[in-house]
Structure 1
Amino acid sequence: MASSPYFANSLLQATLETLRTQAPFSGMVERDVAWLVERLSVVYFPQETTVLEAGGPPAGALFIIKQGVIEGEAPGRNGTRLLQLTGGEMFPLGALLTGRAAVNRYIAASDTFCYRLEAADFQTLLGQSRAFSDFCTRRIASLLEQSQRAVQSEYALAQDDENRFTRPARSLVRQPPLSVRPEAPLAEALSAMDEARVGSVVVSDAEAKPVGILTLKDVLRRVTLAGVPLSTPVASVMTASPATLEGAVPVADALLLMARRGIHHVPLVEGGRLIGVISEKDVFALRRLSMEGITGAIARTEDPASLPALAQDIGAFAHNLLAQGMNAENLTAILSGLNDRLTQRVIELESRASKLPDVPWCWLALGSEGRMEQTLATDQDNALIYANATDSERASLLAFAERVNQRLAACGFPLCKGGIMASNSRWCQSLEEWRATFANWIHRSDAPALLHASVFFDFRPLYGANELSGALREWLNGSIKDNRLFLKRMAENALA
């Protein structure tokens, strides 16, 4: 390998050459690797030395294993080693990416030498090297898979021989589907539900195709409390056009649909015809925690102070899913759905308690949250969009956003170190201001602009006046659709 123009020092040159043989450094531009090498120190850990304890203050440094073996031990698991890391691997990535303490205890399984990079330099490198940032994200998913395999062994005796999440959804159907016609009176539908001892009835047409569903919760809200006569046709109070799934899809798909739609019953079809209904209880019949229990508790709570405990329940529920074999992709999607519910409740309760101006506004999720790729400890990336407002009205919205950001932090979503939050005046703007901001990034197309675009352009509405988000999305799509230069630079930035 030719000498780098960056170094005359032979030790630094040797370090650079060593790193350049390993991912992600082999895929990074040389100036970024050189920048990194200048900031590394070498530390030594004798065998069985604790390198990093779980808990405590936020992780202060990244370690890159130069030589030796590091093992990760989860607290409270009687010394079970969940991870084994060798030369070239890095830790604790998750803690550094989210600004929290390490979850695992890291121990030198042999005499080990590591390169050490201070946390502040790690964050800087994330921002300046897309290749490094992308690798860290992918590595977290890989470590999650390793952790999953280790945790599964603890639950092996308690699980079915067949993985419940990969089996066909139809395998959970225990009885013929309960169905009534749209013109059937409510009395008939309720009597059938009572006799079958089920919590829902599907409304089907003459060809057995589902056109609606009625659940016990619907009955309470739409019939009992509304005083609707039992002679009323069920079509008048059913939920029309219910979400359905083919019976052959994996159980994980049904659970994912429940999380995204906030529902607890899914009709299954084959060739469009009803074959049965599965509920969340069917999936988690033996589990204490369930999506229904968590989402119900979130919806019922009126005290924001109780939401952090519910956030912990989400974490425990995720651990159960992990142990039962759910893959990382589905797990993050379900977590994102539950985190959405929690965040929406935080915003709703805080908006009730605040004297907000009579101005339409919408809370936006950005980045991984916008893409529904959240993990347990994803930090906050959010913004706020509003219609035209006075300075005092904008100040009220900013103060409100600050309270929401702090509430979310109390629930375990760390404040964004880069300040990409709705409480930052830069990211609390009117529709016209957001258009101008986006237009500026598109026009400039330099590295900072592309970095912002990669975070902000994945926005989605989470709470409030969704039409504001829709208007911004429509404008953005039209602005970049034929902008080949911007799209080319975004693609190059993603591959850098």
Structure 2
Amino acid sequence: MDADAAASVRAFLEAHAPFDGLLPRHRQYFAEHCEQRDYAPGEVILEPRMGRVSHFHLVAAGRVRGERPDIGDDGSEAFELGEGDTFPMAALLGERATRTVYRAEDAVRCYRLAREHFERLFTESPAFRDYCIRGVSSLLEQVQQDIQRGAARSLGSESTLDMPLARLMRAEPLSCPPELSVREAVERMHARKVGSMVVVDEAQRPVGIFTLHDLRALIAARADLEAPIGSVMTPRPCCLSAETYAFEAVVEMAQRHIRHVVVTEGERLVGVVSERDLFALQRINVVHLMRAVARAESLDRLVAARGDISRLIDGMMAHGAGVEQMTRIITLLNDRTVSRVIELCLAEEDDPGVPFTWIAFGSEGRSEQTLVTDQDNAILFDPGSEDTVAVRQRLLPIARRINEALDRCGFPLCKGNIMASNPRLCLSFAEWEEAFRRIVASATPEHLLDSTIYFDFRPVWGDIAFGEHLHQRVLAMASGNSLFLHTLAGNALSVKPPLGVFRDFVTERDPKDDVHRLDLKIRGLTPFVDGARVLCLQAGIEETNTPERFARLAEAEAIRGEEAEAFTRSFAFVQLLRMREHQRQAAAGLPMHNRLDPETLNPMDRRILKEAFRQARRLQRKLEIRFHL
């Protein structure tokens, strides 16, 4: 290439990932050694009969259509590549012919790099090599790192929860045998200025833990401090491996209401990490916030405690938490809020005298909640020997009070009335079982809509085992009815990913401001959620969380492992964009919603989003083949 052409190529590379992350000399090498090729509409660029691939292609302008026949049980596949996309990576790395026909959809310009130059760049540039091997997943990590750095700058923090516990352990753990007296154990704790003593057996395996919190309880009870510590310790302490990430320790502490986790290698004690160690990594204290929610003395206090959640998510982004981690934390906080609201309402109102289980549907049932969420809940009760209708009438007033209190806490009332205060959703076990039986037996439009909501339920408060038992019964009903699954799969195909034929994305005009946007929740996430649900119901898998569903499907060999990874990665990216938009809207004081103007995305985000939607199409294609739709 001449100097002007090479400069044009360099400018293009600097504007497109992963090339913008290459060293200048590597971009220069690409620009000097590539060749420009133009293709007419309909012209074949590359196909299997051309033999072993000799060039790496980078699309500089136009659209390339890829057609890949006979790819396993999915049949043929067609996809589109646009500006900044590359091909055919697998064939180049495998030193073979491509299995895909690449054809110019319209006038196309490509920058081609001969195999020898591709191999040299692959060898010398770690960033380019990482992209070639891992593809879009490496770009997704780059996006998350950019978000993390930006959030860290705004918080003035460079610490991260994305580190193994081994890096947090400052000193040798303090341990003792069960026979040591409480008094001597406390003296050793005081001398070391630590708040815990791990009780171990002869093989240095943790059997219990004793903390200053336990000591205060003993003193208050006037207990004998000469007693062996084994008699007053907390048995079976929470143990995590040294490779476990700090974030997981935060989640364990929040879930178990504890202040210390024991760190092990194999079964042997190697350290202790306290909440203070973890708090040093956090600008906003996750466990403290959990505790403030769980102990709020009034509804006003509870509403105030929840005010820090948005800043918490900012902090978690800065600390390197992934999307799944953030949604888990949000769901945990929401579960704690629901539980505390129920307790406060029961304390304020006349207790109906009926044990009940509070059930969450939808995103809360899947543990996938973000900051924008309304109420989808219900009540499961056991009437015992009483009349079911009479029991329901006693429960409905308290259910209405709970729904209203949750609305004050930031969970808007459901416009579709999918709430426990609806008599249709305040049912006994037998009534719920019959309701699900009707849904499975008759695939009416109403029942299909109900199935997309109700089959992702999870007990949140009350007799959890009672709710889990109902979930198991429902799963058995659905997995054994092939006609229901076939209809449900067909319904899952009704929401298509918003990929356009002539444009990157299919958008809808917003009448409020005339801007064309796409709905990240309905059009972006729903295809993954619905597809994972159908496949798990067919396989008899109880899991309700979408990423975990894909993992369980891979373990059951219902889908391939690489498919599960691609679906999970794509789902996570759409959720990441959604959460990022929520944070931007909240910071600007705007009403939060799920609609995104794709024109606001940078080229890399657009590229990954297109790939995510392609994966949603592949998942739907799998449903078409599997259920003969």
TM-score by length of 1: 0.66
Q: Which runs of 5 or more residues in structure 2 are unaligned?
A: 1-62, 64-138, 493-529, 532-619, 621-629
Match of 1:411 among 409, 412, 422: 409
Q: Residues 396-407 of structure 1: matches in 2 within 5 Å? A: 396-407=394-405
Contact 2:392 2:423 in 1 (8 A): no
Match of 1:356 among 334, 351, 358: 351
Contact 1:245 1:269 in 2 (8 A): yes
Task: Compute the displacement of 1:164 (Å).
Answer: 2.0
The 3 A distance-change label for structure 1 pair 195 and 431 is same
CA deviation profile, 1:59-105 (whole Å, cap 9, x unmatched): xxxxxxxxxxxxxxxxxxxxxxxxxxxxxxxxxxxxxxxxxxxxxxx
CA distance in 2, matches of 1:211, 1:489: 52
Contact 2:208 2:235 in 1 (8 A): yes
CA distance in 1, matches of 2:444, 2:378: 22
Structure 2 counterpart of 1:192, which letter? R
The 3 A distance-change label for structure 1 pair 385 and 213 is same
Task: Compute the displacement of 1:187 (Å).
Answer: 1.8
Structure 1 counterpart of 2:308, which letter? D
Q: State the partner residue of 2:456.
A: 458
Matched, 1:444 2:442: yes
Q: State the partner residue of 1:156.
A: 153
CA distance in 2, matches of 1:411, 1:147: 30
CA distance in 1, matches of 2:433, 2:465: 15
The 3 A distance-change label for structure 1 pair 309 and 482 is same
CA distance in 1, matches of 2:311, 2:426: 34
Match of 1:258 among 247, 253, 260: 253
| Higher helix content, 1 or 2 | 2
Task: Compute the displacement of 1:315 (Å).
Answer: 2.5
Q: State the partner residue of 2:297.
A: 302
SS at match of 1:362: strand
Task: Compute the displacement of 1:151 (Å).
Answer: 6.8
CA distance in 1, matches of 2:457, 2:190: 45
Structure 2 counterpart of 1:155, which letter? A
Task: Compute the displacement of 1:177 (Å).
Answer: 0.9
Contact 1:164 1:283 in 2 (8 A): no
CA distance in 1, matches of 2:300, 2:188: 42
Matched, 1:241 2:236: yes
CA deviation profile, 1:264-289 (whole Å, cap 9, x unmatched): 32111111111111123212216453
Task: Compute the displacement of 1:147 (Å).
Answer: 9.1
Contact 1:187 1:230 in 2 (8 A): yes
Task: Compute the displacement of 1:447 (Å).
Answer: 4.0
Pairwise CA RMSD: 2.8
CA distance in 2, matches of 1:394, 1:243: 40
Q: State the partner residue of 1:128.
A: none
Task: Compute the displacement of 1:438 (Å).
Answer: 0.8
Contact 1:377 1:414 in 2 (8 A): no
Q: State the partner residue of 1:474.
A: 472
CA distance in 1, matches of 2:407, 2:354: 26
Count of aligned positions? 354
Matched, 1:192 2:188: yes
Task: Compute the displacement of 1:160 (Å).
Answer: 6.3
Task: Compute the displacement of 1:175 (Å).
Answer: 0.9
Task: Compute the displacement of 1:237 (Å).
Answer: 2.8
Contact 1:260 1:334 in 2 (8 A): no
Task: Compute the displacement of 1:434 (Å).
Answer: 0.5
CA deviation profile, 1:186-212 (whole Å, cap 9, x unmatched): 223322222222222222211111122
Q: Residues 88-99 of structure 1: matches in 2 within 5 Å? A: none
Contact 1:361 1:468 in 2 (8 A): no
The 3 A distance-change label for structure 1 pair 397 and 206 is same
Matched, 1:424 2:419: no
Q: Residues 27-426 of structure 1: matches in 2 within 5 Å? A: 149-150=146-147, 152-153=149-150, 155-156=152-153, 164-221=160-217, 223-285=218-280, 287=282, 289-388=284-383, 389-390=386-387, 391-426=389-424
CA distance in 2, matches of 1:269, 1:151: 29
Is the radius of gyration larger for structure 1 or structure 2?
2
CA distance in 1, matches of 2:166, 2:333: 25
The 3 A distance-change label for structure 1 pair 340 and 216 is farther
CA deviation profile, 1:432-460 (whole Å, cap 9, x unmatched): 11011011111113443233223222222
Q: State the partner residue of 2:581.
A: none
CA distance in 1, matches of 2:151, 2:381: 49
Q: State the partner residue of 2:32.
A: none
SS at match of 2:363: helix
The 3 A distance-change label for structure 1 pair 146 and 286 is closer
CA deviation profile, 1:2-41 (whole Å, cap 9, x unmatched): xxxxxxxxxxxxxxxxxxx9xxxxxxxxxxxxxxxxxxxx
Contact 2:283 2:315 in 1 (8 A): no
The 3 A distance-change label for structure 1 pair 190 and 167 is same
CA distance in 2, matches of 1:353, 1:209: 47
Task: Compute the displacement of 1:166 (Å).
Answer: 2.3
The 3 A distance-change label for structure 1 pair 394 and 156 is same
CA distance in 2, matches of 1:147, 1:166: 12
CA distance in 2, matches of 1:361, 1:384: 7
CA distance in 1, matches of 2:156, 2:264: 27
Task: Compute the displacement of 1:484 (Å).
Answer: 3.1
Contact 1:441 1:449 in 2 (8 A): yes
Contact 2:155 2:283 in 1 (8 A): no
CA distance in 1, matches of 2:238, 2:151: 35
**Identity rate, percent:** 39
Contact 1:200 1:214 in 2 (8 A): yes
SS at match of 2:396: helix
SS at match of 2:161: coil
The 3 A distance-change label for structure 1 pair 148 and 381 is farther
CA distance in 1, matches of 2:356, 2:154: 51
CA distance in 2, matches of 1:164, 1:385: 41
Task: Compute the displacement of 1:422 (Å).
Answer: 0.9
Contact 1:382 1:421 in 2 (8 A): yes
Contact 1:370 1:458 in 2 (8 A): yes
SS at match of 2:372: coil
Structure 2 counterpart of 1:290, which letter? N
Q: State the partner residue of 2:527.
A: none
The 3 A distance-change label for structure 1 pair 294 and 229 is same
TM-score by length of 2: 0.52
Contact 2:162 2:319 in 1 (8 A): no
Task: Compute the displacement of 1:371 (Å).
Answer: 1.7
The 3 A distance-change label for structure 1 pair 260 and 373 is farther
